[in-house]
A = this chain, B = another copy of it.
């Protein structure tokens, strides 16, 4: 077990990578693009990378770790941020394994509180249901982070103190309620993968 990180100070230009998946046709076989966007803090887009994973497959953790570790940005990265832990349907990112492999703390962020009961139910229709459920890390605490008077987002933190994670989420959410790296990863992933009319 790699020991969790504690940040003495969080630098305003901390390098984070935000990861999101693109468009895919649910319940089909095939691949789905996954995009990683490197930001310095919440302002400066430093780089973009891509990999692809199988729809409802089991390769998200490995492919994302490979993408990050082969990137020229790897040495500068301090935090991985994920748009939840389910990618391309139910191809689940095991955040503990991702942390162990990359040695980078992982913050999985969702706008709504994850409904673990629904997820467990959905997994029952898939191969490797027990393995997938284990990868969900269902016992991991879901932390509510208030981002405005009325609104909160939710995060699960791996390899990092909860208070540090809150500070990093807050510092990097410069233009909306979620960290800029995740907002932009979503825009890029969907903008590039929506069915092309041209």
Contact = CB atoms under 8 A, between A and B. Distances in A.
Number of this chain's copies in the assembly equals 2
Interface in A168-198: 175, 184, 187-188, 190-192, 196-198
A41 to B, nearest CB: 12
Contacts of A49: 191-192
Contacts of A52: 196, 198
For this complex, into which size category does the number of interface residues on chain A fall? 20 to 34
A11 B125 CA distance: 53
B50 A175 contact: no
A51 B188 contact: no
A191 B45 contact: no
Given A50-B191, A191-B50, A44 B175 contact: yes
A63 interface: yes
A12 interface: no
A45 B48 contact: no
Contact of A197 (B35, B70, B197): B70
Nearest to A67: B198
Report which residue of A46, A63, A196 has the largest number of chain B beta carbons within 10 angstroms of its beta carbon: A196
Given A35-B192, A50-B191, A192-B192, A198 B66 contact: yes
Given A50-B191, A51-B196, A184 B45 contact: yes
A47 interface: yes
Interface of A: 35, 43-52, 63, 66-67, 70, 175, 184, 187-188, 190-192, 196-198
